[in-house]
Structure 1
Amino acid sequence: MSFIADKQTLEDMNLLGRYNQHSIFNLFNKVKTAGGEKLLQEMFQTPLTDPELINKRSETFQYFQSRHTAFPFSNEQFDAMGNYLSGTSGKFFPRILLSLAYKKLLATIVRDEEYPKIQSGLRQTIAVLYQCKTFISQLEEEQQQHPFYDELQTVKNILNQPKLQWLEKVQIGGAPYSIQITARYDHLLRYTLRSALQTVMNIFYMLDVYLAVANLAKDKSFSYAKALPNAANIFSATGLRHPNINKAVANPVSFHKDSNLIFLTGANMAGKSTFMKAFGINLYLAHMGFPVAASDMEFSVKQGIYTSINVPDNLDMGLSHFYAEVLRVKKVAEEVSNGKNLVIIFDELFKGTNVKDAYDATLAVTAAFSEYRNCLFIVSTHIIEAGEILKQQSNIQSLYLPTIMNGSVPTYTYQLQQGISADRHGMMIIENEGILELLEN
């Protein structure tokens, strides 16, 4: 079963985007190879829903983080090998030999580049395979099983088979190989062992991702979440923070089935949206088995996450901002009422309508959603009056982000506190900016 996160959710949390400098993907994209980057993109697009698979991937990252190992290859080396192996060779050795002889003749007479390219690709592929063999021997630990053991053994078995014993003796530099040697190696690598060598490359792309992410986790002081079966419906984290903000303020967050909704209040700029994004991003990363920006975390796996943070209007369809909000809430309600185990984040419910309607709708919708104890919710709002009624429900946590006034200047702690915000500093901020005085003058 695939993890659900639609386009708006991914955009709200700025998760994807190779060319988006501030995306969470780019935070982790420290890989060395194009194949590693492609694999990293696939991991970001397909979070896991099996706690055993999530925990195994986390354990693999932790294993490589403990080794302090750097990926020993460049993208150019693997590109050269990939380009060489993607070319055609042939099934029959005599034909390969004749073909190479013809290509070499063309290279001599008309300076055709194909034969030198084959020689270069062959040499670079042999060099990479030799380095792979050396690198794996350095990673081996006697009689110790580790999370990446099976993959390394697969590569080791491929490279240690009798057909490749010549790798130990072959001259990597020096004069070009003879046509006979070139034909023999070319037939072996690009025909006989082509599939096996692609497996070697894929495992090293995987290794590239594991080493890059593990080293980032060490640099950023990230930790690893423990995945639990969904039945427990638990989320608990300390020191949770936004992974893409340096020196971000950390907060504890806790849910369980009898306390499954956070009703969040606070002034503008107090940090509500950032906190909700931090929660959503880390939950998403945890389902990938990736390191998280928290001191510690454990969570019951979910089927997906929906956010409603930056709901756009749609002028082409004639949708106002409010109606777009309503349709978004309806979509989430359909998913929740169908029994799916989800995490839902609503930022400023129904801000596109008048205060009275917003109050009534926030109160009714929040109370109705909270009854789905298999799901977890965070709902933020400025309608603090709704919070006074909702806090009477035992499964709703009332939390707020405070504003501290230094005279007429607001400052923010970004630290969660129990209760409902009483901050009403909007007019004070407007007065501080001198807007009314400017208009009067």
Structure 2
Amino acid sequence: MQEIENIIQNHQYLIDNTNKKRNIISFLRIFSFIASAVSLYKFLSTSLNVYFILFLISCIVFLLLIFISKKFQEVILYYQNIVQVCLGIKKEFCDQQPNMEHVDHHPYNKDLDIYGEKSLFSKINRTETFLGKQRLSYYLSHHLIECDQINERQMAIKELSSKMDWCIYFLAKAKLLDLDNFNKDVFEQTNNSFLKISAFTRVILYLISIVNLSLLTACIFTKFSPIILGITVLFISVSSLIVKLKYGKLIKNTYSNIHLRAAQYHEFKDLFSFIEKEVFQAKINHSYQEKLRKPSASISLKKIAQLIQNLENGHAPLLGVILNTIFLWNLHHSIKIDKLLSDLKSHIPDWFDTFSEFEALICFGIFAYKNKNYNYPICSENSPLLEIEKISHPLISSENSISNNFTIGNSNNIAIITGANMTGKSTFLRTIGVNLILAMNGCPLPAKKFIFRPMKVFTSMSSSDSLSDGTSYFNAEIKRLKHLLEYLENNIPLYIILDEILKGTNSKDKLEGSQLFLEKIISLNTAFSCIIATHDLELTNMVEDYPHHIINRCFELNEVQGKLEPDFKLKHGVTKTMNAIRLMKEYKIID
């Protein structure tokens, strides 16, 4: 992280240096203002032209210094954003969370702590806009299931992790965007009403503007001859009235739809240009970049921003009256805007999607950069379903985590995990699940080796009741298992992660139900890999009837100084120790 620290120090120096320059400019502004006031006073007192010239020069210098001061302020804000982005990268978790509606019904989000405080999302998320945040959330909730796509995503992440300066500058520029009222659909809106104006009518409208200007010129050259002046006033008045009656409402609608977007067009133009200029080798990054280059998003948005600015000038109180009366200014610019937006309508959605894709991928790149000791998983259609060495949980610090090995070699295999309370069963399940999500997003993992076949992930670990829905805990779990079966019955391959299913019923019913459920999924032809944690040791006897489908693994307790302590290491076989009664005695719940 020394590179990040260096960027912070360098830009803090630039902030201080630029602030000093801005302070000098502020002093010069005061001086130029005083100079203009004194020059004006002297001119009014003496009528000497030299003082009037000095007054004009002072005013020009004053306005120029205001412009320079504004530019310095923009530079300082950009540098401050760079520092804030770097500080955010150094943090372990971010505070922002996406919209998490319907998370309970998602195949794995709730069980694997994808969202929430100190979640996988908060570990990875470094987005600065809600567009990027939504895209990153989508990635984590809809992982890839094709090796080609996963491998391409890996290459994109590797490339971005090697361009950390560029990633930081991208996020700093994204932080400048004002997206409080952003709606992508508004950028795509064109009322197309102006496109219905015939070419002949457009020629007439341009001729009217030319005639207006010609008549005004004639007035000047004839020293406002009463006849010429009368014709001019009559023609301009009638033409302006006709245009207002016929097109006034359409012009107003165009302006109301788009005038608030001028700044956003301008800001996105700079960011798109930043992406267009970078050199990318990874296929995904290059393909996204090409979407912005053909046609050039930055150039197109610059044109739109300029047209919108011109349209806003046409709505200025005094200037607007002159421009619209003589040149039909707002009408001509509304036609141009409508035409340009119509031409770009098929590209604009891709541009903003590309921006969000880059912002989300940058988060993965930062995650990879911060965890250089992680290894990229190997996706293979022909490998064992899972072959893992020394895996740990990415949300648990390396000082507190215990790594484990795990392999499921064949399709339709079920690993039954047994162990006493607090020995690490649930943590192990989540470790496998979370790392699968990372792997199928192209990210590196805290594992020495991680070979996998891509399949969807489905978990049932922490079902809950719902008073509002009238759903009991047990009923919620049954619905969850039914949903799981629907995936398999529809031939959707799954990684299945289950923690103590059927907890809401008695022991005998629970055991028999668990056995029947596992037999049911074994009987289906859909490929799956299942890991189930349980306290029902009798469930492990299924290995006798299904030796080619069932494997038993366990977490054990070791006696240390008269106490049973877990070592959190996964072992072959069935657990031989339990600790519920011993724990109750330790906490003096029972004698």
Q: TM-score range by the shorter chain?
A: 0.7 to 0.9
Q: Is the 8 A contact 1:80 1:124 kept in 2?
A: no
1:215 to partner: Cα distance: 0.6
**Of the candidates 556, 580, 587, which is equivalent to residue 402 of structure 1?**
556
Q: Distance in 2 between matches of 1:208 and 1:238?
A: 32
**Identity within the alignment, %:** 20
1:362 to partner: Cα distance: 4.1
- Once the two structures are superposed, what CA deviation does each residue of 1:274-314 show, in whole Å capped at 9, x if it has no partner? 11122123223433445544344232222x33322123356
Q: Is the 8 A contact 1:51 1:227 kept in 2?
A: yes
- Once the two structures are superposed, what CA deviation does each residue of 1:167-190 show, in whole Å capped at 9, x if it has no partner? 9xx9xx9xx979779949856764
1:73 to partner: Cα distance: 2.3
- Once the two structures are superposed, what CA deviation does each residue of 1:135-187 show, in whole Å capped at 9, x if it has no partner? 432x216xx564321221231232289978989xx9xx9xx979779949856
Q: In structure 2, do the counterparts of structure 1 residues 63 and 386 end up closer, same or farther at CA, with 3 Å as the change threshold?
A: same
Q: Distance in 1 between matches of 2:553 and 2:570?
A: 6
Q: Is the 8 A contact 1:12 1:308 kept in 2?
A: no
**Of the candidates 272, 279, 287, which is equivalent to residue 140 of structure 1?**
279
- Once the two structures are superposed, what CA deviation does each residue of 1:316-339 show, in whole Å capped at 9, x if it has no partner? 888765565556545545654565
Q: In structure 2, do the counterparts of structure 1 residues 397 and 75 end up closer, same or farther at CA, with 3 Å as the change threshold?
A: farther
Partner of 2:590: helix, strand, or coil? helix
1:153 counterpart letter in structure 2: E
Query: Does residue 1:74 correspond to 2:175, yes or no?
Result: yes
Q: Distance in 2 between matches of 1:264 and 1:225?
A: 24
Q: Distance in 1 between matches of 2:392 and 2:275?
A: 36
2:550 counterpart letter in structure 1: I
1:38 to partner: Cα distance: 2.4
Give the 5 Å matches for 1:40-51: 40-51=136-147
Residue 108 of structure 1 corresponds to none
2:579 counterpart letter in structure 1: H
- Once the two structures are superposed, what CA deviation does each residue of 1:42-90 show, in whole Å capped at 9, x if it has no partner? 3334333333223222322222122223224226256688688467687
Q: Is the 8 A contact 1:370 1:396 kept in 2?
A: no
Bigger shift: residues 379-388 or 285-294 = 285-294
Query: Does residue 1:152 correspond to 2:292, yes or no?
Result: no
**Of the candidates 455, 458, 464, which is equivalent to residue 306 of structure 1?**
458
Q: Is the 8 A contact 1:305 1:344 kept in 2?
A: yes
Query: Does residue 1:33 correspond to 2:129, yes or no?
Result: yes
Unaligned runs of at least 5 residues, structure 2: 1-102, 210-239, 245-253, 315-322, 324-328
Matched residues, number: 413
Q: In structure 2, do the counterparts of structure 1 residues 208 and 428 end up closer, same or farther at CA, with 3 Å as the change threshold?
A: same
**Of the candidates 371, 374, 379, which is equivalent to residue 532 of structure 2?**
379
Residue 265 of structure 1 corresponds to 418
Residue 274 of structure 1 corresponds to 427
Query: Does residue 1:199 correspond to 2:347, yes or no?
Result: no
Q: Distance in 2 between matches of 1:81 and 1:382?
A: 52
Give the 5 Å matches for 1:138-217: 139-140=278-279, 144=281, 146-159=283-296, 183=333, 190=341, 192-193=343-344, 195-217=346-368
Q: In structure 2, do the counterparts of structure 1 residues 355 and 151 end up closer, same or farther at CA, with 3 Å as the change threshold?
A: closer
- Once the two structures are superposed, what CA deviation does each residue of 1:330-372 show, in whole Å capped at 9, x if it has no partner? 5545654565422222212344344444444445544554565
Q: In structure 2, do the counterparts of structure 1 residues 324 and 77 end up closer, same or farther at CA, with 3 Å as the change threshold?
A: closer
Bigger shift: residues 83-92 or 210-219 = 83-92
Q: Distance in 2 between matches of 1:260 and 1:379?
A: 11
Q: TM-score, normalised by structure 2?
A: 0.57
1:237 to partner: Cα distance: 2.5
Partner of 2:107: helix, strand, or coil? helix
Computing the radius of gyration from Cα coordinates, the structure with the larger value is 2
Higher relative contact order (CA 8 A, sep 6+): 1
Q: Is the 8 A contact 1:8 1:307 kept in 2?
A: no
Partner of 1:43: helix, strand, or coil? helix
Q: Is the 8 A contact 2:269 2:301 kept in 1?
A: no
Q: Is the 8 A contact 1:237 1:252 kept in 2?
A: yes
What do you get for the CA RMSD once the two structures are aligned? 4.6
Unaligned runs of at least 5 residues, structure 1: 103-113
Q: In structure 2, do the counterparts of structure 1 residues 193 and 334 end up closer, same or farther at CA, with 3 Å as the change threshold?
A: closer
Q: Distance in 2 between matches of 1:13 and 1:311?
A: 9
Q: Is the 8 A contact 1:80 1:125 kept in 2?
A: no
1:39 to partner: Cα distance: 2.1
Q: Distance in 2 between matches of 1:8 and 1:368?
A: 23
1:407 counterpart letter in structure 2: Q
Q: In structure 2, do the counterparts of structure 1 residues 386 and 115 end up closer, same or farther at CA, with 3 Å as the change threshold?
A: closer
2:497 counterpart letter in structure 1: I
Query: Does residue 1:429 correspond to 2:583, yes or no?
Result: yes
**Of the candidates 382, 386, 392, which is equivalent to residue 235 of structure 1?**
386
Q: Distance in 2 between matches of 1:251 and 1:31?
A: 32
Q: In structure 2, do the counterparts of structure 1 residues 164 and 421 end up closer, same or farther at CA, with 3 Å as the change threshold?
A: closer
Give the 5 Å matches for 1:54-93: 54-68=150-164, 69-70=167-168, 71=170, 72-74=173-175, 76-77=177-178, 85=187, 91=194
Q: Distance in 2 between matches of 1:291 and 1:202?
A: 24
Q: Is the 8 A contact 1:402 1:414 kept in 2?
A: yes
Residue 110 of structure 1 corresponds to none
Partner of 1:38: helix, strand, or coil? helix
Partner of 2:495: helix, strand, or coil? strand
Q: Distance in 1 between matches of 2:370 and 2:535?
A: 37
Residue 345 of structure 1 corresponds to 497
Q: Is the 8 A contact 2:129 2:175 kept in 1?
A: yes
Q: Is the 8 A contact 1:6 1:306 kept in 2?
A: no
- Once the two structures are superposed, what CA deviation does each residue of 1:238-259 show, in whole Å capped at 9, x if it has no partner? 3333333333333222212178
